[in-house]
Structure 1
Amino acid sequence: MTELVLVGCYTAETGGNGDGISAFRRGIGGALTLETTLPMVSPSWLVKHPTVPMVYAANETGSGEVTSVSLAGGELEALDVVGTGGADPCHLAVTPGGRFLVCANYTGGSLAVFALSPDGRIDERTDLVRHQGHGPDAERQAAAHVHMAVPSPDGSVVSAVDLGTDEIRSYALSTEGRLTPLAVTALPPGTGPRQLVRRPGTTTAYVVGELAGTLLTLRETAPGAFEVTDSVRSSWAEPEVKNLAAHLEIVEDALYLSNRGPDCVTAFTGTTPSAVADQACGAGPRHFALVDGRCYVAAQDEDAIIAFPLSELGEAEPERYPSGSPSFVLAATV
């Protein structure tokens, strides 16, 4: 078995410096060695199928596409390329049973659903819903911008996080892949919600407020319906620059959140989060992966993956692995 770290990126077609999906081999001590790169236009978000060796890439372009990539035998092979029905797809998720792929189209302001075959191939688009509305930020919230699509643990509900309208719009997902409106949760104006992450086994969830630089704690009062119970800054220290919060991960009792502007990963403790440390992690940190006690950060503006041990967070001397305009880090064993 080989431990790989797959890196998504932005390519020249969308103003980036990357070349496609890069596969790094993870060696002793967590060091990365570049193995190969699969050329592809701006694969900005990656997600792995839960049971078969297949990865899906959101091609974040004006035309909007998603590509299925086989990992069989440790080789990366692009298979299906299908339109997402909206511009700039920025997030993908596979429902727990592996039956459907859901896609958030950022500029398109829409949510798409695709049926998946038993072998993980993309079958057909089963639904597409478009959001309407705006928020108080005239530059970033002039229209709907769906930034994340989150299936519930049983796959029966999909919650769409809309940065443009300051809402979480939840839908019931039928066995045929159709969406029916279920609940709408309004968030504080100007939050600019980017991500929704549930704490497993509880009714607690968290929202990353990109525009406000906040981390919100929510309670799920009914399937897909939430209420805000707490809000804190998304970094430990008061930032001297605009803070565009990005990616959140939960590991047991700890939360980790990347912040662009302060350019750090912040650690939080507690179910109601309290920040305890910031770790410098390169310019423009977006997505990151936590693997065996190490953090691998896609530092987009640094053109590098920045790695450090979580045990030294706040004081670590990071390692740097060159990678053009990285946006996503995915650990996979093949």
Structure 2
Amino acid sequence: MIFCKLKTGVLFVFMVTIIACNPKAKEVKSTTIDIIAGTYTNKESEGIYLLSLDTITGEIATKGLLAKTNNPSYLDFSADKSIVYAINEDGKGPESKGGGVSSFIWDSKNKTLTTQSHQLTQGDHPCYVSLNPNTTYLSAANYSGGNITLFKLGEEGQILPNPEIRNHSGQGADSTRQKAPHAHCSLWNPSGNQLYAVDLGIDQVLSYQFNEATGALGQGKTAFELEGGSGPRHLVFHPTKKMAFVVNELNNRVQSLKYGDDSSELTLIDEQVSLPEGYTETSYIGHVEISSNGKYLYVSNRGHNSIAVLSVSESGMLQLIDTFPVKGDWPRFFTLSPNGKHLLVANQRSNNIVVFQIDAATGKLLDIEKEVTLDTPVHLLFP
């Protein structure tokens, strides 16, 4: 018995030594990835926070405050994921010079954000920031200002002063919400030669010709005119087809659009409501995303407190599959995980972020009982 124990012990040590010395031994790769969260800071939140997500189990956790900054309600990354750009959704007042946009250097190894630059957006309450495909220019949409601004980025990604400004004009049919322009989204097309601005206040999607080589931004043209009182909010492009999708906050409609190579005009393909039939209570669309294969469109409903899942046909026809409760209140924003397996909802009023699993075959959402608490979450960004 003693001899057997000795042999077993020697064999065990020998095997461990071989594995430890073998340079080809595979390391176990972590399944956890980072999430950067933007919040409103009018309550307990202080700015931008770090979270983590297990891409296999959907487990989510908070890791702490990354940067103190006012109302970072919308975020974007540089192409190389080294810089985070954050809207500061402020208006002019005793303690504020107005809306702004900030850049932070992201250290993925040490999990830190370091302030790099800040500029005023020349309009109150900016609510959207985006970068052109080569991340050489940045655009911000100013909701209360009713305009968009275009900033050039420096060699190190910093936001340079003296932006181009394009003011919108007009009003919409809703006497309460559409007394003036309210730019809610500014987003480049995939080729980067058109900057689209979605204006909730005047029921229009405008387009601006853009020349990256010179930085020249053309004057706005109406790319798509919506029915009065629609209140267009956000726009997303199809991953492979010449299609775009606009969601309307005030009438809860989702529209599929097509566009050509040489034209900025958007033409209606189809339209569907994001709410279940028979629902008559107050609700407002919040955000829209599309699956990486272009087959499913996801839309958040604030009030109904759900995510609507719509199918997208090859020709762009839409069909509402179902709506799924978000297990919280006021889903202002949501996003899909990089591997497309999970959908994460930021519930602004209930202070929670909920993770759902996506059924790849149907696009439907499955409740996996994973969530975390964060004060007033309104944006989620994956590096």
TM-score by length of 1: 0.93
More moved, 128-137 vs 23-32: 23-32
8 Å Cα contact 1:113-1:177 kept in structure 2: no
Query: Which residue of structure 2 lines up, in the alignment, with residue 66 of structure 1?
Result: 101
SS of 2:349 mapped into structure 1: helix
More moved, 297-306 vs 2-11: 2-11
The count of residues paired between Structure 1 and Structure 2 equals 329
Query: Which residue of structure 2 lines up, in the alignment, with residue 286 of structure 1?
Result: 332
Q: Do structure 1's residue 227 and structure 2's residue 256 form an aligned pair? A: no
Distance of aligned partners of 1:30 and 1:191 in 2 relative to their CA distance in 1, 3 Å threshold: same
What per-residue deviation string (whole Å, max 9, x for no partner) do you get for residues 138-172 of structure 1?
Answer: 11100000000010112111010000000011011
Q: Do structure 1's residue 178 and structure 2's residue 244 form an aligned pair? A: no
Distance of aligned partners of 1:83 and 1:182 in 2 relative to their CA distance in 1, 3 Å threshold: closer
1:102-121 pair list within 5 angstroms: 102-121=139-158
Aligned Cα root-mean-square deviation (Å): 1.7
8 Å Cα contact 2:119-2:160 kept in structure 1: no
* Aligned counterpart in structure 2 of residue 5 of structure 1, from 35, 39, 61: 35
8 Å Cα contact 1:112-1:125 kept in structure 2: no
| Mapped partners of 2:275, 2:181: distance in 1 | 26
Structure showing greater Rg:
2
| Mapped partners of 2:113, 2:247: distance in 1 | 32
* Aligned counterpart in structure 2 of residue 245 of structure 1, from 260, 278, 285: 285
| Mapped partners of 1:166, 1:283: distance in 2 | 27
Distance of aligned partners of 1:17 and 1:265 in 2 relative to their CA distance in 1, 3 Å threshold: farther
* Aligned counterpart in structure 2 of residue 36 of structure 1, from 61, 64, 74: 64
Identity %: 29
| Mapped partners of 2:364, 2:269: distance in 1 | 28
* Aligned counterpart in structure 1 of residue 357 of structure 2, from 304, 309, 320: 309
Q: What amino acid does structure 2 have at the position aligned with 1:198?
A: F
Flag the structure with higher strand content.
1
| Mapped partners of 2:116, 2:58: distance in 1 | 30
| Greater RCO (CA < 8 Å, at least 6 residues apart) | 1
More moved, 218-227 vs 277-286: 218-227
Distance of aligned partners of 1:25 and 1:317 in 2 relative to their CA distance in 1, 3 Å threshold: closer
* Aligned counterpart in structure 2 of residue 203 of structure 1, from 242, 261, 265: 242
Query: Which residue of structure 1 lines up, in the alignment, with residue 20 of structure 2?
Result: none
Runs of 5+ consecutive residues of structure 1 not aligned to the other structure: none
How far the C-alpha of 1:78 sits from its partner, in A, is 1.9
TM-score by length of 2: 0.82
How far the C-alpha of 1:283 sits from its partner, in A, is 0.6
Q: Do structure 1's residue 26 and structure 2's residue 65 form an aligned pair? A: no
What per-residue deviation string (whole Å, max 9, x for no partner) do you get for residues 56-100 of structure 1?
Answer: 000001010101011124211122111001000100100001110
Distance of aligned partners of 1:52 and 1:313 in 2 relative to their CA distance in 1, 3 Å threshold: closer
